[in-house]
């Protein structure tokens, strides 16, 4: 599976990263599906799940024991298989793509379906061994961005628990209203030039809102949105 040029992004899936901080939120399932319903795009949705407190625990152990960076990086990637499966259950039994073949079939399918990607199971086809640093600078923000890059995503959305810092490169977007729901969320987008998207990500990274590694591949990414799902 090769990287797809930016001009072909409009044909790809919508890659959605669910932040690990959302996994412990009782309203995640309802809010997630309500947000999905407001999205105008009919294309497939490929969900990447953060590590949350599971990865936080590994980070604490690493601060104490100073593990070898490459080893702890891959241990964290393997642990993401667990959060993917937990999220699949939390979100109502979403399908899990846990092999390169399943990812390929999903990508080639014409159905507007939604699935969760097991990053550990498909790390080789995502070029994870070489594309990003094996350090704590690489979190699931950057891993989701790498997925978007490889599958030629039409859009990348990062679902978070807080608002992003204000910058000149993004704008708040009013989502489509939904009847019979109390879900409230705020969304920011940067759909301008590649340069603007890169500058936005650099600023968010410098402020600690996203990881540092995502900036390394920013020029290859599709239009990006950040959503405070818990607002």
- Mean predicted confidence (pLDDT) in 5-15: 67
Longest dimension (CA), the chain: 52
* pLDDT, tens digit, 9 for 90 and up, residues 204-214: 999 999 999 99
Extended beta strands in 98-185, E state: 114-117, 155-160, 171-173
Helices (H), 66-187: 69-90, 100-108, 128-131, 140-151
Does the residue 111 lie in any domain? yes
Does the pLDDT value for residue 4 go beyond 70? no
What's the pLDDT at 2? 41
pLDDT band for position 46 (cuts 50, 70, 90): very high
Residue-range definition of the domain harbouring residue 59: 6-228
Directed axis angle between helix 69-90 and helix 52-65, to 10°?
Answer: 160
Domain with residue 136: its CATH number is 3.40.1160.10
- Mean predicted confidence (pLDDT) in 15-44: 91
Does the residue 1 lie in any domain? no
Cβ(190)–Cβ(167) below 8 Å: no
* pLDDT, tens digit, 9 for 90 and up, residues 104-157: 999 998 888 999 999 999 998 998 878 899 999 999 999 999 999 999 999 999
How many domains is the chain partitioned into structurally?
1
């Amino acid at each position: 599976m090769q990287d797809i040029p930016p001009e072909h992004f409009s044909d790809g899936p919508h890659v959605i990263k669910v932040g690990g901080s959302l996994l412990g939120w009782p309203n995640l399932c309802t809010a997630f599906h309500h947000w999905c319903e407001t999205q105008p795009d009919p294309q497939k949705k490929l969900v990447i799940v953060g590590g949350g407190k599971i990865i936080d625990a590994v980070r604490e152990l690493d601060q104490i024991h100073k593990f070898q960076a490459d080893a702890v990086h891959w241990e964290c990637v393997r642990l993401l298989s667990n959060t993917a499966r937990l999220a699949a259950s939390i979100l109502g039994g979403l399908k899990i793509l846990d092999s390169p073949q399943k990812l390929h079939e999903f990508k080639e399918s014409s159905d507007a379906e939604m699935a969760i990607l097991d990053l550990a199971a498909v790390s080789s086809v995502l070029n994870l061994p070489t594309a990003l640093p094996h350090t704590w600078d690489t979190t699931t923000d950057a891993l989701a961005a790498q997925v978007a890059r490889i599958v030629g995503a039409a859009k990348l959305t990062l679902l978070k628990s807080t608002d992003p810092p204000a910058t000149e490169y993004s704008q708040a977007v009013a989502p489509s209203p939904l009847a019979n729901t109390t879900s409230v969320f705020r969304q920011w987008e940067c759909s301008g030039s590649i340069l603007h998207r890169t500058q936005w990500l650099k600023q968010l990274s410098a402020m600690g809102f996203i990881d540092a590694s995502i900036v390394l591949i920013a020029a290859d990414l599709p239009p990006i949105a950040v959503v405070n799902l818990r607002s």
